[in-house]
Amino acid sequence: MSPVTGSAFFWTSVVKILIVFGGILSLVAFWTWVERRGAGWIQNRLGPNRVGPEGLLQPAADGLKNFLKEETLPPFADRFVFLLAPVMAFVPALITFAVVPFASPLPTPWGLVSPAIADLPVGFLYILAISSLGVYGVVLAGWSSNNKYSLLGGLRGSAQLISYEVSMGLSAVAVLVLAGNITMNEIVARQQHSVWFVLPLSVAFLTFLIASFAETNRLPFDLPEAEAELIAGYHTEYSAMKFSMFYIAEYSNMVTASALMVTLFFGGWDIPFTAWDNTPPWTVLKFVATFAAFWLKVVAFLFAYVWVRWTLPRFRFDQLMDLGWKVLLPVALGYVMVIAVAVWGLGAAGVPFGLGYGLILTAVSAVLLGLLLWGLDRNRVIGGSAARQRARWLADAARQRGAA
Amino acid sequence: MTNPSAARLRERFAGSVGAAAGADGEGVVHVDAARAHELLAWLRDDPGERYDYLTDVTAVEYRDRERPLEVVYQLRSLPRNADLRVKIDLPKDAELAVDSVVDLWPGANWLEREVWDMFGVRFRGHPDLRRLLMWETYSEGHPLRKDFPLRGRFSRAEQVRRALGGDLTAHYSLEELSIAEAYDALPEDLRRQLAPRPGSPAAGAGPGAGGEGGHRVVELALAAPGRGMPGAPEAEGPGSAATAAGPATPAGPDMKTDHMLINIGPQHPATHGVLRLVVELDGEVVVRVIPHIGYLHSGFEKLGEYRHYNQIIPLTDRTDYLSAPANNVAFALAAERLMGIEITERCKVLRVIACELSRIISHLVWAGTTAIDIGAFTVFLWMFQERERAYNLIEEWTGARLTTSLTRVGGMMADLPDGWTDRLREWCRRFPKTLDEVDRMLLRNGIWLGRTQDVGVMTTAEAIAHSLSGPMLRASGVAFDVRKDLPYLDYDTYDFEVPVGEHGDVYDRYLVRMEEMRQSVRILLQALDRLPDGPLNSADPRVILPPKRRAMSDMESMIHHFKQVMEGVPAPAGEVYFPVENPKGELGTYLVSDGTAKPVRWRIRPPSFLNIAALPKMAEGHLLSDLIAINASVDIVMGEIDR
């Protein structure tokens, strides 16, 4: 079956846009509920459970509230930029998703419909380009509010986003080296024929994961907001829907980042341990099954975001910068070289791309990952010193008692 | 019994040492104002004395107009574990001024500012003698003076009018004006005001002369950048602080830096109340931090002078409102020592339970809020859940959760309800599990360690010099705990350890407080084991009301009841300083009586007041995020700081 063309292409694209963006926005709304209920679960409390069954309609109530609240416009703010900033945060967060394939192709009477809104040949470059625009929302919001806290938040945000953008891009380069292509569909296809790239590229996945937490401004990287220090930082002065748009942007960024991790490292819409879903003929059943597989993986990552948020404390700004520039960047850079050499070596040795190829790289990466974690940890991060300290106190106290 | 130091003082400073008295083992020495500074320095440095710790500085004015005003230095020798009270008599017809001891003990900075603010005693050579609890332009006088009416001199409307009306400087924070770089940005008329005006009454006078109008204070503040860190001790000549440096000249172009001034508070999620921190930032680095307090000032000490001893107890609830039972106990103990009342064994044990329970509650709030300030929200809620359970116990006992008013002079407000001890035991069994869980959450977390270790370090010497107390002092390596070293309520018979830190950073403060909670559980269990039956209240008919039934049926008892409630219980003339180990640190209650039913002076030595005064010392040079973490680690409660 051939891909759709002509006006059918136009109409299927419109439908895809509506479905994907409607779906993301619904997921975002739903996820605010999950986050709050998840927080309640982690914190031994209930969370919102009054509106609708189990509080499921809470997001709707919040949305309504935000529409009805007063839109404040501080007199000292730069009016145009102040209004522009939420949009600048909101739009890139949504349109980044356009190139992510979220299922197997769908056969229709008019032809085969590609699973991404735009199956761009330069898909990954598009993602890098558009997701970088999100920083303007933060910076402009912080600057135009004419509030010192907001300004600090905006500055922190821009420094953070730019720093981690680099590591994020570099860790994705490893994927591109292995995939040999920057089209998202091709990256998925390569994983279907080998192993999911999370195994052969585990170090890249780790750096990408950390960088995407930083890119989404989530704990432990929520410094631009840092309510204890900057009182919501760059969006201190925003209210009602403008404030809401920052929130939607944050959650949309989470969805997009999760979708990217799924696509780059977890096989995209691939269903593991079977080749049934990878091969034509494409059927509606395959579309539905792979669609579900994709979103299940995304939701798993989204839950990780919630889990981490209610577990970890916040970094300090210099620690954040150190982690970004002194750890993540060299690691990602070095890893790209290692992977490039390994891929070249495997090619020279004539190992065909497939399962064995992936497993060899997995072994290489596992060794590197072990070294990295060992180097980072140094018995400080995981060991902790309180138990030792307490033991020493009690021993000292016992000695003193013995002496007296 | 007089303190042996008094004899040595008299020997060394013959003629400058007046009457020495002793009350309950406390040494009191009256000294001459002229040589007081020299004498205090000797007391600090002499190897036989070593009074290295300044517990408190305050003043007393008696109701008798003829008696001189007294400035009181409460000293402690940590190595010798001895206390000494040095008093300077200031006749009211002469100038009320003494030499500042900030150069000896940096911790005296805020204490002396408070005395200046409240009593109008000028401290010569103080680096930054501004009002502390009242606002800088407050012009009604000095509230704790006896001639100051309880309601103040001006109406609220008049206060607002004076604070804002027509005075340009009132619209700018003094620190804003004090950044030399900001000078260019000020309006023209304000710059004219700030420019040096030779011959003006302000130019030649130090603080205290004339009114407390805005301009002079502004000049003082303007001089600040040239003086280095506020709070640093400086050996300037008396009275020179305000005038020697003069207003800063506008900075030249090469001096132009982009320091930013932000106000953290008084309304800010991380200030734990209405603390205001004026922070000068260079990027994210804190260059200067100036705490402003007084937003919650309620004049408790003034109110106390108009109340009977038992009527003061509700006020103590509202000072450190996170550990109200412990405050109640502290006040009752001081009043009982003043009146010479022995309390019953059961009362002692119940008070220990109250103190330790409130220590745990207070530390739980501290741990939770510190965690949330560093970003760990979950810990906050876990801690608060345990706190709620503890508050349920307190509520069952006292009927109130926050303002318990648990004690009475000579006894307790209420005995334990039935089954309470079992519920406390059950809570003591379950609660440490939450502590362990929080420890697992935080102490194995690299981010938490990175955020707390080596942040806000106070060395042992600095901690002592700044008069820190409680967990703050112990985290810096000083093994001083009032419960162990100056035992009260038979604390010396309980088996518990005092955790002591090594590094004096936020991390050690965390460890110390977490361990204190575990030790408090130990004390609670021991107290429950030994809780004796028997009478709750002392049998002393002076202070204990007759039972209601007898008061309603027996004429003698009714009269007694009436007189006691209406006239109060007179305390013999004398004074007492009673320190207790409160959750925040050493809570001292200094009571002076002239033989009437109302104290002449009720002074609270507020631990978190002194601890937060060291904030600039701890935070300057750190990052903004660290400032928040350090401020949280101090464990402040504004009700106590502002009183």
Torsion-angle region of B85 (φ positive above 0: left; ψ -120 to 50: alpha; else: beta): beta
What is the model's pLDDT at position B355? 92
Q: What is the CA radius of gyration of chain B?
A: 25
In DSSP terms, B566 is beta-bridged to none
The minimal CB distance from A397 to the residues B262, B268, B497 is found for: B497
Q: Give a yes or no: residue B175 inside a domain.
A: no
Please report residues of B whose CB lies closer than 8 A to that of A222: 375
Rounded distance, CA A256 to CA A24, Å? 9
Residues in chain B with pLDDT values less than 70: 1-3, 20-26, 163-258
Q: How far is B453 from chain A (nearest CA, A)?
A: 11
Residues in chain A with pLDDT values less than 70: 1, 227-228, 377-404
Rounded distance, CA A221 to CA A312, Å? 10
**How many helices, marked H, and strands, marked E, lie in chain B?**
25, 15
The minimal CB distance from B378 to the residues A42, A386, A393 is found for: A42
Asked if A313 and B626 come within 8 Å (Cβ–Cβ), the reply is no
Rounded distance, CA B443 to CA B446, Å? 8
Q: Give the mutation candidate from B377, B389, B452 for the A interface (greatest A CB count, under 10 A).
A: B377
Q: How far is B640 from chain A (nearest CA, A)?
A: 22
DSSP state of B570: P
Indicate the number of domains in chain B.
Answer: 1
Rounded distance, CA B497 to CA B474, Å? 12
Q: Give a yes or no: residue B319 inside a domain.
A: yes
What is the model's pLDDT at position B210? 34
pLDDT digits (tens, 9 = 90+) for A219-244: 788 877 776 677 777 888 888 888 88
What is the model's pLDDT at position A157? 84
What is the model's pLDDT at position A395? 65
What is the model's pLDDT at position B256? 46
Domain that holds residue B576: 300-538+571-642
Q: Give a yes or no: residue B550 inside a domain.
A: no
Please report residues of A whose CB lies closer than 8 A to that of B376: 311-314
SS (H, E, C) B367-391: HHHHHHHCCCHHHHHHHHHHHHHHH
Percentage of residues in chain A with pLDDT exceeding 70?
92
**Terminal Cα-to-Cα distance of chain B (whole angstroms):** 34
Q: Give a yes or no: residue B283 inside a domain.
A: no
What is the model's pLDDT at position B580? 92
What is the residue type of B198? P
Asked if B515 and A42 come within 8 Å (Cβ–Cβ), the reply is no
Chain A / chain B CB contacts < 8 angstroms: 112
> Distances from the Cα of B12 to the Cαs of B16, B46, B437, B447, in angstroms?
9, 11, 58, 56
Q: Name the residue ranges covered by the structural domains of chain A.
A: 6-403
Evaluate whether ipTM surpasses 0.90.
no
Q: For residue B490, which of B453, B530, B521 has the smallest C-alpha distance?
A: B530
Asked if B291 and B134 touch (Cβ cutoff 8 Å), the reply is no
B618 Cβ contact list (under 8 Å, min separation 6): B456, B457, B458, B630, B634
Asked if A393 and B497 come within 8 Å (Cβ–Cβ), the reply is yes
> Distances from the Cα of B249 to the Cαs of A212, B178, B198, in angstroms?
49, 11, 15
Q: Which two tokens stand for residue B235?
A: 């050996």
Strands B276-282 and B285-292: antiparallel
Asked if B628 and A229 come within 8 Å (Cβ–Cβ), the reply is yes
Asked if B446 and A380 come within 8 Å (Cβ–Cβ), the reply is yes
Residues of chain A contacting B, Cβ within 8 Å: 39, 42-45, 148-149, 152, 156, 219-220, 222-223, 226-229, 231, 310-319, 380-387, 389-390, 393-394, 397
What is the model's pLDDT at position A233? 77
In B, minimum Cα distance to A43 occurs at B378
> Residues B589, B591, B594, CA angle at the centre, nearest 5°?
175
> Residues A21, A22, A27, CA angle at the centre, nearest 5°?
95
Asked if B273 and B296 touch (Cβ cutoff 8 Å), the reply is yes
Please report residues of A whose CB lies closer than 8 A to that of B370: none
> Any idea what the CATH number is for the domain that residue B381 is in?
1.10.645.10
DSSP state of A326: I
Q: What is the CA radius of gyration of chain A?
A: 24
Q: Give a yes or no: residue B596 inside a domain.
A: yes
Torsion-angle region of B558 (φ positive above 0: left; ψ -120 to 50: alpha; else: beta): alpha
Please report residues of B whose CB lies closer than 8 A to that of A148: 260-262
DSSP state of B591: E
In A, minimum Cα distance to B372 occurs at A228
Rounded distance, CA B602 to CA B599, Å? 6
Residue with tokens 């304000």: B190
* B189 C-beta neighbours (distance < 10 Å), count: 9
A10 Cβ contact list (under 8 Å, min separation 6): none
In DSSP terms, A106 is beta-bridged to A113
Q: What is the dihedral of CA B411, B412, B418, B420, to 10 degrees?
A: -110
Residue with tokens 């925040």: B584
Q: Give a yes or no: residue B451 inside a domain.
A: yes
In DSSP terms, B590 is beta-bridged to B577, B603
Say if B441 is an interface residue toward chain A (CB within 8 Å).
Answer: yes
Burial (CB < 10 A; 0-12, 13-18, 19+), residue B157, is: exposed
Q: Which two tokens stand for residue A126?
A: 């598009």
pLDDT digits (tens, 9 = 90+) for A265-297: 888 788 877 777 777 777 888 888 888 888 899
